Amino acid sequence: MSTYLVPVDFSKTADHAARYAARLSFAMENAKIILLNAYYVSEYESILPTPDMVITTDEHIADEITKRMEALEKLKAKMLEINPQAEIEVYLTRETLLRSIIDRVNREEIELIIIGSNGKKAKDESDIGSNAIKISKSSPVPVLVVPPKADYQSIRKAILACDFKKVKEVIPMHALKNILSKHRLELLVLNINSGHTIDSEEEHFLHEMLQDFSPAYHYSDHPDTIKGIVKFAKSEEAQLIIALPKKYSFFESLLHESVSQKLTIKSHVPVLLLKD
């Protein structure tokens, strides 16, 4: 069974990610979706009033929990309209969002975390969307970031962007094999550093590592890395961009929110942050 964890905060951004997850599950023979909402009330909030002079009492918390459970069930119903056969669990936790995600991943074999990213005009719309990259930093499993422009398409072609440097340390082969073994994908490897000398030994290592997937290799000299990747994905009509946010990789810079937000906003397809 493939299990997807979808953190939601009832924003349009999170709703978009949930709908994407439902369509993705429809394409899988055996998939489960966990809709997770984190409702954390700190000790500070329970003592002092909010800026609106509201004190978070036990009664207020109970009412909020009821509202959130109703919202989770409503979102589940929307997703079942997309995939009536989907197994969907609603899960309300009283921990912080990040702790809730990590705890759930440690309790159950989660294949993928699916998060929506905010668009240019919705920076404050979703706390989860605003913190997508922070979540991916701490997540022990791959994170799929769904941009606001990304509509679900059957994933047939994926772009693996790589700069051919320290490939043995950079490419998480176990995670990559896990993804590619479950989905019949045409893999395109894009070198985004072709303006510089390519280390032939590293290139040879990469060809050996990926030979079982029979990828096609492409080279780009676009002056803007992010634009180059997005442009290539669009020209090839790819349905997925695979990023490698690991030490030595140029995608390590994706862990800086400004760069990563730029990619997920400008991309028209989901970005998979792949980790071992």
Which pLDDT band, with edges at 50, 70 and 90, does 252 fall under? very low
Of 2 and 73, more confident: 73
Concatenating the DSSP letter of every residue in 103-153 gives: HHHHHS---EEEEE---TT-TTT-HHHHTHHHHHHH-SS-EEEE-TT----
152 in a domain, yes or no? no
Q: In terms of domains, do 39 and 114 share one?
A: yes
Cα distance between residue 89 and residue 71, in whole Å:
13
pLDDT surpassing 60 at residue 45: no
Range of the domain at 138: 2-146
Nearest one of 75, 82, 90, 87 to 14, comparing CA atoms: 75
pLDDT surpassing 70 at residue 177: yes
Q: In terms of domains, do 7 and 118 share one?
A: yes
pLDDT in tens, 196-222: 666 677 778 888 888 888 889 988 877
Of 73 and 207, more confident: 73
Q: In terms of domains, do 73 and 182 share one?
A: no
Total domains in the chain come to 2
Lay out the sheet containing 87-93: strands in order across: 87-93, 31-38, 2-7, 112-116, 143-146, 271-273, 240-243, 157-162, 186-191, 216-219
Q: In terms of domains, do 133 and 166 share one?
A: no
Q: In terms of domains, do 127 and 31 share one?
A: yes
pLDDT surpassing 70 at residue 44: no
Cα distance between residue 73 and residue 54, in whole Å:
27
pLDDT in tens, 94-108: 999 999 999 999 999
pLDDT surpassing 60 at residue 249: no
Q: In terms of domains, do 173 and 103 share one?
A: no
For the chain, what is the mean pLDDT?
A: 80
Of 21 and 225, more confident: 21
Lowest mean pLDDT, pick from 8-17, 60-69, 234-243, 244-253: 244-253
